[in-house]
Amino acid sequence: MSRFVTYLTLGALLVLGTPTARAATDAAPPAAGERTVAATATADSSAADASATRDWQPPLSTRGRYIVDAAGNRFRLKAANWDGAQGSWTGSGSESDPANHHAGQDSYGIPLGLDRAPLATLLADFHQLGINSVRLPFSNALVHSTTPVPDAAVAANPQLRGDTPLQVYDAVVSALSDSGFAVILNNHTNTSRWCCGVDGNERWNSSQTTQQWADDWVFMARRYATVPGVVGADLYNEVRRDVLNDPNWGSGDDHDWFAAAQLAADRILTEADPNLLIVIEGINWTGLPVDGLPHGRPVLTPAQTLSHTLVVSHKLVYSAHFYGYTGPQHSGATGIGETHDARYQDLSRTDLYQALSDEAFFVEDSGKHYTAPVWVSEFGIGAGETNDAARTWFTNITDYFADHDTDFAYWPLVGWEGHDDWALLRYDENGGQHGILDDADWRATAWNHLRSTAGLTGPVAAVPDWQMLDTDHGDYVQSLRVRAQGDWDSGASKAVCPDGLRLAGLGHTSGRGLCTDVTAGDLRASGSAQTVVTDERYVPSGGDWASGYTKLQCPAGNFLIGYSHRGTKVSAALCVPARTTLGTSGRTVWFDRSDNRPSGAAGADFASGDYKGQCADGEYAAGIAFTTRLGASPGPAALLCRSLT
């Protein structure tokens, strides 16, 4: 009990490094047709930089570790966080008193600075910074609020008087898009309270249900689906422990961030906007911040053994946050609740770079089931910082980002002069601009090095795609074409590769699989034809490739894209016809007693701790063999791998 009370006390003090929102009301989101986003953009906002030309073509997608535009050209996210719409109240005292808001800045639940400078001025200043994109936080409270913002909140933008927070957000989104910026929507908080400790915003479902959270995401994605600059959905900010429970990555309970992100991504892409990038942050914090007890920042390390496979390919971006005052095992607390673990700013340059690789940037390794772009969507430091270690950290980490051609977003973009010296741009009460564009700002050297260092530009070559299938807690049917055909094995746990990919590997008992398009690209013929194989009817006479085992073999000219099981027993194989003539020579790949994968096999460990079988790059899987004999596992025991040609 003493530990519980201690953590409850510490939790109220912890600040892990970002912003938040307010308790959602019972009001339904405004109907999409109530007021269009285009209608919200006023003459002032649309003229904010009407002459700006977009030098990239939406929508965005991914190729390996890179984000690309519609023309296949590299688009590096050089971004900053325009916060405020997630809320600024610190959780104590009157919300009407600015002193009770972060840095003394009452955002009124809308992007900061609209009381101090016209949108046109703000956007012109953003361009001066050299950024091309904006991470735009919002709260679920904003989605549901029907109360107009006070006139004082938009004093420099009188055209927004009488608007609700969501309508102001609409105007900002439209203005950013019209000015050529890419916009990534970020669900930062449930409530409009500043985060990130124990504050009601620890998880996507801390102050609301997962259903409501996903519903709100569908609403927001639909609302901006026709705005060309809106390119991404950053699903939730800094998932972390509350008083009683840790978030997890794959346990299948109500705290499973892996599953919740998968659910929201699926609904956004199928119900709202299939063009959006889906940004999934790692887990920011688990454990009790007490010496001797388990605690730390998992970040993206769980993706190495369990990664997301989206129903629309080439849309996944993984995200991580790094601040000097936090660390691999450090929450960022000072005083009460501070542990003796090293902060990132305490690490040598070499050790810092190793930590960055171990916690996040391993994801960019090519040819893995988890390969994706890594976007560091938050990092930052104050202009008034005098600690040498903190300053050195900022130089070191910006050097790393520059050298590694990293996608980034600084926190924050806008603040008030005399209040938040972390902001890249600070505005005084008269609209005067201060900040990193000033010669005296020590951060400018590192910032300019980061934003101007040349990285990959132009066309990005397509690379083979590797994706994992996971039936740990139910179906994992990631093909839209198969979904359209209905339930192909009712009552069984089913897994199907995304459209364009074929099955390449299976685990013996885990129910996990590996998909790819290596060598052949999209191998499937047009149309909806598919065959569910539950017996040996397609095994030709004299073609026993797994004697004594039950063989689920595809018809001639077909290949495997999916499988199902009931418990641990194989139930069915799903086959589809190929668009070209397939080879018929093949081999049996056994994996019931050990791993059997090609030397140096791509895809990485797609079924950690399990025996795995995998076809070679120039092969396709044409059958699954298993046995139900006493004492044997009824899971997949062998694959029939045949030459593609």
If one compares 204 and 11, the residue with the highest pLDDT of the two is: 204
Same domain flag for 409 and 303: yes
Q: Does 10 reside within a domain?
A: no
311 closest CA partner among 266, 281, 360:
266
Q: How long is the chain?
A: 645
CA 581 to chain centroid: 38
- Which residue type occupies 356? L
Q: pLDDT digit string (tens) for 120-165?
A: 999 999 999 999 999 999 999 999 999 999 999 999 999 999 999 9
Q: How many CA atoms lie within 13 A of 603 on its CB side?
A: 33
Q: pLDDT digit string (tens) for 499-515?
A: 999 999 999 999 999 99
The per-residue pLDDT for 37 is 57
> Which among 422, 452, 482 is the end of a domain?
452
Same domain flag for 552 and 422: no
Torsion on CA atoms 271, 274, 275, 278, rounded to nearest 10: 80
Q: Look at the block and give the residue holding tokens 């991504």.
A: 265
Residue 195: which CATH number? Answer: 3.20.20.80
Q: pLDDT digit string (tens) for 334-382?
A: 888 799 999 999 999 999 999 999 999 999 999 999 999 999 999 999 9
The per-residue pLDDT for 4 is 24
Per DSSP, the three-state class of 193 is: strand
Asked if the model's pLDDT at residue 50 lies above 50, the reply is no
Q: Report whether 48 contacts 124 (CB < 8 A).
A: yes
CA 292 to chain centroid: 32
Same domain flag for 278 and 426: yes
Same domain flag for 94 and 169: yes
State the pLDDT confidence band at 28, using cuts at 50, 70 and 90: very low
Same domain flag for 241 and 302: yes
Question: Taking the complete model, does pTM exceed 0.75, yes or no?
Answer: yes
Structure tokens at 625: 């063999």
Asked if the model's pLDDT at residue 40 lies above 80, the reply is no
Asked if the model's pLDDT at residue 171 lies above 70, the reply is yes
Q: Give me the number of domains the chain comprises.
A: 2
The per-residue pLDDT for 224 is 98
Same domain flag for 426 and 506: no
Q: Does 61 reside within a domain?
A: no
- Separate counts of helices (H) and strands (E) for the chain: 12, 28
Please give the average per-residue pLDDT across 462-471, as a whole number: 98
The per-residue pLDDT for 483 is 98
Q: Does 2 reside within a domain?
A: no
Structure tokens at 356: 């960055």
378 closest CA partner among 132, 105, 100, 186:
186
Look up the domain containing 532 and give its range: 466-643
Q: Does 461 reside within a domain?
A: no
Q: Report whether 459 contacts 72 (CB < 8 A).
A: yes
Please give the average per-residue pLDDT across 11-24, as a whole number: 32
Same domain flag for 444 and 475: no
Same domain flag for 426 and 558: no
The per-residue pLDDT for 196 is 84
Asked if the model's pLDDT at residue 265 lies above 90, the reply is yes
State the pLDDT confidence band at 6, using cuts at 50, 70 and 90: very low
Angstrom distances, CA of residue 217 to CA of 180, 213, 256, 620: 24, 6, 18, 38
Q: Does 161 reside within a domain?
A: yes
Cβ-based burial of 334 (10 A; exposed 0-12, middle 13-18, buried ≥19): exposed
Report d(CA 492, CA 573) in Å as an integer. Answer: 11
553, β-bridge pairs: 623
Q: Report whether 614 contacts 589 (CB < 8 A).
A: yes
Q: pLDDT digit string (tens) for 67-113?
A: 999 999 999 999 999 999 999 999 999 999 999 999 999 999 999 99
> Which among 452, 475, 491 is the end of a domain?
452
Structure tokens at 19: 């912003």
Q: pLDDT digit string (tens) for 493-552?
A: 999 999 999 999 999 999 999 999 999 999 999 999 999 999 999 999 999 999 999 999
Rounded (5°) CA angle 253-258-263 = 85
Q: Does 4 reside within a domain?
A: no
Q: Does 314 reside within a domain?
A: yes
Q: pLDDT digit string (tens) for 395-447?
A: 999 999 999 999 999 999 999 999 999 999 999 999 999 999 998 999 999 99
State the pLDDT confidence band at 608, using cuts at 50, 70 and 90: very high
> Which among 452, 477, 495 is the end of a domain?
452
Same domain flag for 277 and 367: yes
Q: Does 55 reside within a domain?
A: no
The per-residue pLDDT for 43 is 36
The per-residue pLDDT for 182 is 98
The per-residue pLDDT for 336 is 80
The per-residue pLDDT for 561 is 98
Same domain flag for 96 and 151: yes
Structure tokens at 11: 């939790």
The per-residue pLDDT for 499 is 98
The per-residue pLDDT for 2 is 29
534 closest CA partner among 554, 549, 515:
554
Same domain flag for 123 and 259: yes
Same domain flag for 415 and 486: no
